[in-house]
């Protein structure tokens, strides 16, 4: 169970919609209750849903950071319209699960990485059908699958670094001047227009905090950039 809790470090700190946060809590509680009662097969189905949610959030971050590249990648895909007009990462659930991983190429993932990520979908399919088999009979087997999932999540997150840093730098360029943004308060602005907008997790924010801000050192708005970064830092210290 302790190993499974690591996934929270990769899921958003907060959600724009209360319903989205409620959904993630519901799925986690479904995993937790089934795991603790020894219903490991059902627990793994719930954990896979958390894994796919993480993937959707990552693809959403790519979409936000690289809109032109994302649009080009979507062209002529099934559900093209839904992908281009998505208002939430969960819209990505409307397309084939194996297909969503292809968008991770925009973050630098190569085919061998994507194949490993997709393998978890194939393994989930084996346990999601009424085939008369119980694949997870004990805690050790379940824990092994949890570690396999977390290994893939860590792998995806490692590729997300350039995407996240690019989003942060663009955010700072666009909003360092408080007179030119809708929300003057730096802390509220960071929460609403960066953390919520990009569905950022604790791990994602830690990556952003490592960003080289050299381009702002000589800027007349350097102090405001510092304030925005302090607000971002505070979000993971609460």
Position 95 scores a pLDDT of 83
Domain boundary among 115, 141, 159: 159
Interval 120-129 mean pLDDT: 64
pTM, whole model, 2 decimals? 0.92
Which letter does DSSP use for residue 16 in this model?
S
Contact 114, 105 (CB under 8 A): yes
- Model confidence at 1, pLDDT cuts 50, 70, 90, reads confident
Domain boundary among 108, 133, 159: 159
**Residues 15 and 122 grouped into a single domain:** yes
Q: Which of 18-32, 84-98, 141-155 has the highest mean pLDDT?
A: 18-32
**Residues 25 and 87 grouped into a single domain:** yes
Position 164 scores a pLDDT of 98
Position 138 scores a pLDDT of 83
Position 7 scores a pLDDT of 97
Task: State the maximum Cα–Cα separation within the chain, in Å, rounded to a whole number.
Answer: 67
Tokens of 146: 């949890």
pLDDT at 188 over 60: yes
**Residues 147 and 207 grouped into a single domain:** no
- Mean pLDDT in the chain? 90
- Taking the C-alpha atoms of residue 50 and residue 24, their distance in angstroms, rounded to an integer, is 7
Interval 98-108 mean pLDDT: 89
* C-alpha distances in Å from residue 41, one per residue of 50, 149, 155: 15, 15, 24
Position 125 scores a pLDDT of 59
* C-alpha distances in Å from residue 169, one per residue of 92, 166, 181, 200, 206: 26, 5, 16, 15, 14
Which letter does DSSP use for residue 193 in this model?
I
**Residues 75 and 57 grouped into a single domain:** yes
* C-alpha distances in Å from residue 100, one per residue of 14, 57, 226: 23, 11, 36
**Residues 152 and 45 grouped into a single domain:** yes
- Model confidence at 71, pLDDT cuts 50, 70, 90, reads very high
Beta bridge partners of 201: 12
State the residue range of the domain holding 73.
Answer: 2-159
- Taking the C-alpha atoms of residue 151 and residue 51, their distance in angstroms, rounded to an integer, is 11
How many domains does the chain contain in total? 2
**Residues 13 and 56 grouped into a single domain:** yes
**Residues 227 and 124 grouped into a single domain:** no
| Other CB atoms within 10 A of residue 111 CB | 9
Position 116 scores a pLDDT of 77
- Taking the C-alpha atoms of residue 119 and residue 106, their distance in angstroms, rounded to an integer, is 20
Domain boundary among 139, 159, 179: 159
Short-list 30, 62, 60, CA closest to 47 = 30
- Taking the C-alpha atoms of residue 54 and residue 229, their distance in angstroms, rounded to an integer, is 24
Contact 100, 59 (CB under 8 A): yes
Query: CB-hemisphere CA count at 13 Å for 189?
Result: 22
């Amino acid at each position: 169970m302790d190993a499974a809790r690591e996934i929270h470090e990769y899921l958003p700190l907060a959600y724009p919609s209360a319903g989205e946060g409620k959904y993630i809590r519901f799925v986690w509680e479904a995993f937790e209750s089934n795991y603790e009662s020894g219903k490991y097969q059902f627990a793994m189905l719930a954990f896979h849903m958390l894994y796919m949610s993480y993937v959707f959030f990552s693809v959403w971050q790519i979409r936000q950071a690289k809109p032109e590249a994302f649009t080009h990648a979507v062209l002529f895909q099934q559900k093209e319209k839904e992908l281009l007009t998505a208002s939430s990462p969960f819209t990505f659930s409307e397309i084939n699960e194996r297909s969503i991983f292809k968008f991770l190429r925009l973050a630098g993932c190569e085919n061998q990485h994507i194949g490993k990520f997709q393998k978890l979908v194939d393994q989930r399919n084996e346990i999601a059908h009424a085939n008369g088999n119980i694949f997870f009979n004990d805690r050790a087997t379940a824990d092994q699958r949890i570690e396999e999932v977390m290994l893939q999540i860590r792998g995806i997150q490692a590729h997300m670094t350039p995407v996240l840093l690019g989003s942060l730098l663009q955010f700072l360029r666009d909003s360092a001047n408080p007179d030119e943004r809708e929300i003057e308060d730096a802390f509220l602005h960071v929460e609403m227009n960066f953390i919520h907008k990009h569905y950022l997790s604790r791990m994602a924010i830690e990556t952003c905090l490592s960003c080289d801000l050299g381009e702002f050192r000589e800027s007349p708005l350097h102090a405001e950039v510092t304030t925005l970064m302090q607000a971002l830092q505070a979000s993971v210290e609460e």
